[in-house]
Structure 1
Amino acid sequence: MTRQTMTDPGKKNTNRVVAAVCVAFFGGMIGMAYAAVPLYKMFCQATGYGGTTQRAAKQYAGRILDRDITVRFDANTNGIPWQFQPVARSVTIKIGETTQAHYSATNKFDRAVTGRATFNVQPELAGPYFNKVECFCFTDTTLKPGETLDMPVVFYVDPDIVNVPELKDLKTITLSYTMFPVEKNKPVASSAPDSTTKVSDTEANLGG
């Protein structure tokens, strides 16, 4: 009996320590979850990881190679009632040449909806060499019911891409955007249960 009385307080103290550690760990995990998206965004933009493009501070004014490359444009929606598509499916430019492409978004819902786009480049190795001077990605955009918005993207392909052995013969790059509803519009997402809708070639406007 004496031994049990002496050890019970020790067990209680141990349990309290374990509980405190668990609470601290759980709280830390929640904090990391909230920080994960912006940190991952910063990491990808800095390194080009996962086909993430680079952000250029200003329009490129360097050398332009006498070599063509075709950039294809892809558009997807995930849980947002918008029609989202590229105005032209592709463009052929010189490597190093700055050009502008356009996407179009139309709100098909009966109230205002806010969306935000993420993006990537294929092949992934080309990400660090695909530089966006102007882009609508990671920017909250609100459209009224039936409203249509032109969404330009200005970019160039860095001539250094030809120095990469795996990319020296690359002919085509695909720039892909996926539009999501922002957090405050979760009820809108639930009203459109189809997970991801990809714009097909026949649905897109092939005007260019």
Structure 2
Amino acid sequence: MTKPSDSRVATHSAKSTRTALICVGVAFGMLGMSFAAVPLYDLFCKVTGFGGTPQIGTAATGKVLDRFISVRFDANVAPGLGWKFEAESPEISAQVGITQTVFYKVTNRSDRTVTGIATYNVTPEQSAAYFVKIQCFCFTEHTLKPGESFEAPVVFYIDPEIAQNRDLDGIKAITLSYTYFASKAGQPVAEDQAGTAKGDAKNPKL
């Protein structure tokens, strides 16, 4: 039986090493993509308004339209949190292009210290691309002792560019909806009535 030459053995070893490195690289690449998927999806939603995600801005454009749209403020609390959550006004008439400020109040009515975090969306979803938030309390953890309260503003405007979307000519009302969940490691967690964690509430439809 002919013994393989050293060169053939070396070539085979090099190919095996290269294949192993490629497999490791693919594995790490897939792992990195899985970690990046959520923030990339969140970024996509914020840029496009997809899924009812409002836009993020720093100031109104200065352009104002002679058009008013009712903005409704929905406030929800996940079961088990024990908080009271409400907007100072359930609805306002907002002039397109004008910056508006509305306050929400949160009170811990339970007998324990609780950390909560709010998620949000806008309906109808098509309008989210023109609903620009300047300041918001969403995705920020808040810890309240029993009976403790706090107020937080939402500052926003409706982008005048909405007038360029003929499909939204007939829109009369927009709903900004928040839901407070118990928070674990900075993520919203759905709970049952007894306060037992049921799993992450990732990007819920509110």
Q: What TM-score, normalized by structure 2, do the two folds share? A: 0.72
- 1:191 alignment partner in structure 2: 196
C-alpha distance after superposition, 1:128-163 (max 9, x if no partner): 111111111222222223321112101111122122
Larger helix share, 1 or 2: 1
- Kindly indicate whether residue 109 of structure 2 is the aligned counterpart of residue 122 of structure 1: no
Equivalent pair of 2:117/2:188 in contact (CA under 8 Å): no
Q: Quote the Cα distance in structure 2 between the aligned partners of 1:159 and 1:112.
A: 40
Percentage of identical aligned residues: 40
- Kindly indicate whether residue 106 of structure 2 is the aligned counterpart of residue 105 of structure 1: yes
Q: Which runs of 5+ in 2 are unaligned?
A: 1-14, 202-206
Q: What TM-score, normalized by structure 1, do the two folds share? A: 0.71
Give the structure, 1 or 2, with the largest relative contact order (CA under 8 Å, sep 6 or more). Answer: 1
- 1:157 alignment partner in structure 2: 158
- Written as runs of structure 1 = structure 2, the 5 A alignment for 1:26-175 is 27-65=28-66, 67-78=67-78, 81-87=81-87, 88-107=89-108, 108=110, 110-113=112-115, 115-175=116-176
Q: Quote the Cα distance in structure 1 between the aligned partners of 2:190 and 2:48.
A: 34
C-alpha distance after superposition, 1:100-141 (max 9, x if no partner): 11222223351242x222221111111111111111122222
- 1:202 alignment partner in structure 2: none
More divergent stretch after superposition (141-150 vs 178-187)? 178-187
Q: 1:174 Cα shift?
A: 0.8
Q: CA RMSD in A?
A: 3.7
Q: Which runs of 5+ in 1 are unaligned?
A: 1-13, 197-208
Equivalent pair of 1:60/1:98 in contact (CA under 8 Å): no
Q: May I ask how many residue pairs the two structures share in their alignment?
A: 196
Q: Quote the Cα distance in structure 2 between the aligned partners of 1:187 and 1:64.
A: 41
Equivalent pair of 2:189/2:199 in contact (CA under 8 Å): no
Q: 1:187 Cα shift?
A: 9.1
